[in-house]
């Protein structure tokens, strides 16, 4: 798997994986029963569980199941990802060029998040999924 991860630009470190989203722009945001960020028109970051969105001064809890909490996510439109880390514990953290940070923890009962690269859903080149209870898997 290490060769495949290198080919895709995913780098393993001690407690996390560095994902190949750095320097890329959020160019679409979809809201249904989850929040999906589309990055450069090809990669999707689907957040199915509650997550935090911080701007340094304030941290907000966003729950995709509660539409009254989702509006602040729209400010991520056109933001540039400067760091994308998938924790080996099942967490995901994204940092953006305007000092905002997004963080989601693993869900004990379901998949809290997933990332698909390529042109989903037709031909994703990779998928990274947060496993129920913690950990991540690569497909």
Question: Is residue 6 over pLDDT 60?
Answer: no
pTM: 0.91
The DSSP 8-state label assigned to residue 100 in this structure reads -
Instruction: Tell me the C-alpha distance between 86 and 93, whole Å.
Output: 7
Segment 53-79, tens digit of pLDDT:
999 899 999 999 999 999 999 999 999
Instruction: Tell me the C-alpha distance between 93 and 137, whole Å.
Output: 16
Buried b (16+ CB within 10 A) or exposed e, 17-27: bbbbbeebbbe
Per-domain boundaries in the chain: 2-133
Q: Among 18, 16, 13, 43, which residue's Cα sits nearest to residue 28?
A: 43
């Amino acid at each position: 798997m290490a060769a495949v991860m290198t080919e895709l630009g995913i780098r393993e470190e001690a407690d996390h994986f560095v994902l190949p989203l750095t320097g890329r722009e959020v160019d679409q945001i979809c809201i249904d029963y989850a929040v999906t960020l589309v990055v450069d028109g090809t990669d999707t970051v689907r957040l199915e569980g509650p997550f935090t969105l911080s701007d340094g001064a304030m941290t907000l809890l966003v729950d995709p199941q509660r539409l009254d909490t989702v509006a602040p996510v729209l400010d991520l439109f056109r933001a540039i990802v400067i760091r994308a880390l998938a924790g080996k514990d099942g967490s995901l953290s994204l940092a953006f060029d305007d000092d905002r940070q997004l963080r989601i923890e693993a869900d004990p009962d379901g998949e809290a998040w997933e990332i698909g690269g390529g042109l989903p859903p037709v031909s994703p080149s990779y998928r990274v999924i947060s496993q129920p209870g913690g950990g991540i898997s690569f497909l």
